[in-house]
């Protein structure tokens, strides 16, 4: 009985301790109980004395610990760059005092190849910007300070506009509207025309009208047809593009050869199979996959076009793989993501890879790894309506294929004039490595594979 009575007392003491713990402000607590024989029990919680009628003395002690603070200030650093990127320029999307949600973009770091977005690690308020707008940063450089405030507060709804005051009651009834005038039934008299000649004045005798009054001195008057200009700083990507293109002109002995492709067969094949292709692969069948596959076929036939000169060791590097860079125009500049191992892909694989890389480019999510490498480049200026052009080599590659728009033109087919959908293609190559014979043979190989895709199946 004594043991049962003591266990009941101990249970009551523990229950009171747990209730006191729930009512306290601390999130973590530790209880230590020590039993001492006596006539009454004493318990201390939050510096208060509790009396428990029992034959044992229990001391309950609470140890406060530091709770997780929601208003901590954290410093966000620049993320690590790829090996080929050393620094970038900061472009701020937020200012000091702005409230941001978790994962909301605070700034973008523009590098030579792509832009890196820096999100907020948690919801909070921007305390300080540690780098000026346009400043250069390296990996690990402190960017800004963020005060955590939990979830981002919801924007307050605008207060409802007060109701308009009630219109005062009229003292007297409104006067009735006047009666409508009678509709005339006869035409008005025509004034007589003078028979005397009209007095004319020479142009020199006509005096100019008075000039309008001048505007006050504090106001700017926009002049009609004003010739103004403004300056915008080049971002790092545009600077890098300009530098690389100029290096290509200064280094390579560039020469361009041209040909034209009859797109009748590839158009017919696309018209017949585009719906089943879309149903099976959930992708649209375009012309780009045909040119990429034809280029891979021609590069394997002419491996020198897939090679590159190593200027350091004065050696020619032949690549046994085919990685084709596809030029994509974005608002920030021209990017060239790489479709790798094209020689092992079919049309569906190529279309899927191009679609995924294009979506990344449009969303500004391309990583440096997506654009590194590449043994050959294809640029499609035809999407903008280009009829003819000479592309510039993308160093350190040795050649680039330029596609153009498709136009119906009269051509001689079997001794007859027919209207066919035709496309001009251009191949710019480094004449230091590639001779004219290899370049012309390469371009004719692409022409044959696009005009008749059965050449790819038969390996002709």
- Separation CA 376–CA 397 (nearest Å): 6
Cα–Cα distances in Å, from 298 out to 270, 443, 455?
Answer: 22, 8, 11
163 close to 95: Cβ distance less than 8 angstroms: no
Six-digit token pair at 251?
A: 């280094």
Q: Which of 103, 133, 310, 435 is catalytic?
A: 435
Six-digit token pair at 158?
A: 């605008």
Q: Which of 72, 431, 452, 459 is catalytic?
A: 431
Phi and psi at 122, nearest 5°, equal -155, 170
Sign, CA dihedral 136-137-142-147, equals positive
Other C-beta atoms lying within 10 Å of the C-beta of residue 296: 27
Question: Is residue 435 flagged as an active site residue?
Answer: yes
Other C-beta atoms lying within 10 Å of the C-beta of residue 424: 20
Listed residue (309, 334, 294) closest to 443, CA to CA: 294
Residues forming beta bridges with residue 58, ordered by sequence position: 35
Cα Dmax for the chain:
142
Task: Print burial letters for 211-231: b (CB count within 10 Å at least 16), e (below 16).
Answer: eeeeeeeeeeeeeeeeeeeee
- Separation CA 27–CA 150 (nearest Å): 17
94 close to 100: Cβ distance less than 8 angstroms: yes
- Separation CA 399–CA 428 (nearest Å): 6
Other C-beta atoms lying within 10 Å of the C-beta of residue 429: 28
Residue 134, phi-psi category: left (phi > 0), alpha (psi -120 to 50), beta (remainder): left
452 close to 265: Cβ distance less than 8 angstroms: yes
- Separation CA 436–CA 43 (nearest Å): 99
- Separation CA 288–CA 328 (nearest Å): 12
Question: Is residue 230 flagged as an active site residue?
Answer: no
Six-digit token pair at 130?
A: 């540690």
Could you give the residue numbers annotated as active site?
431, 435
């Amino acid at each position: 009985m004594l043991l049962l009575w003591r266990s009941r007392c101990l249970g009551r003491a523990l229950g009171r301790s747990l209730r006191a713990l729930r009512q306290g402000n601390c999130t973590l607590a530790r209880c230590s109980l020590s039993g001492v024989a006596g006539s009454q029990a004493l318990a201390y919680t939050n510096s208060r004395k509790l009396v428990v009628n029992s034959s044992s003395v229990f001391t309950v002690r609470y140890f406060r610990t530091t709770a997780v603070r929601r208003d901590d200030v954290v410093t966000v650093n620049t993320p690590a760059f790829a090996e080929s990127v050393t620094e970038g320029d900061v472009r701020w999307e937020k200012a000091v005092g702005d409230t941001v949600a978790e994962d909301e973009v605070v700034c973008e770091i523009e590098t030579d190849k792509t832009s890196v977005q820096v999100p907020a690690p948690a919801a909070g308020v921007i305390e300080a910007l540690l780098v000026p707008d346009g400043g250069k940063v390296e990996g690990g450089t402190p960017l800004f300070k963020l005060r955590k405030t939990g979830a981002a507060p919801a924007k307050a709804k605008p207060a409802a506009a007060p109701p308009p005051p009630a219109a005062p009651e009229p003292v007297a009834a409104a006067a009735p509207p006047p009666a409508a005038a009678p509709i005339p039934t006869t035409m008005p008299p025509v004034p007589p025309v003078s028979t005397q000649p009209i007095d004319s004045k020479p142009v020199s005798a006509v005096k100019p009208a008075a000039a309008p009054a001048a505007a006050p001195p504090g106001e700017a008057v926009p002049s009609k047809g004003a010739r103004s200009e403004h300056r915008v700083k080049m971002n790092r990507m545009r600077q890098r593009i300009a530098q690389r293109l100029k290096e290509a002109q200064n280094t390579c002995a560039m020469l361009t050869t041209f040909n034209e492709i009859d797109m009748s067969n590839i158009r017919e094949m696309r018209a017949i199979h585009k719906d089943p292709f879309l149903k099976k692969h959930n992708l649209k069948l375009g012309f780009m996959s045909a040119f990429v596959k034809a280029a891979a076929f021609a590069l394997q036939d002419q491996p020198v076009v897939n090679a590159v000169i190593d200027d350091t060791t004065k050696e020619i590097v032949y690549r046994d793989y085919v990685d084709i860079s596809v030029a994509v125009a974005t608002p920030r500049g021209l990017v060239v993501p790489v479709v790798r191992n094209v020689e092992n892909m079919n049309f569906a694989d190529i279309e899927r890879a191009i679609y995924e890389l294009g979506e990344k480019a449009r969303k500004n999510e391309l990583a440096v790894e997506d654009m590194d490498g590449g043994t050959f480049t294809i640029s499609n200026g035809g999407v903008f309506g280009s009829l003819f052009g000479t592309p510039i080599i993308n160093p350190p590659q040795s050649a680039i294929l330029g596609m153009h728009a498709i136009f119906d033109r009269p051509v001689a087919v079997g001794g007859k004039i027919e209207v066919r959908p035709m496309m001009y293609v251009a191949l710019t190559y480094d004449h230091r490595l590639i001779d004219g014979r290899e370049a012309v043979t390469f371009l004719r190989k692409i022409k044959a594979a696009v005009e008749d895709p059965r050449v790819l199946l038969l390996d002709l």
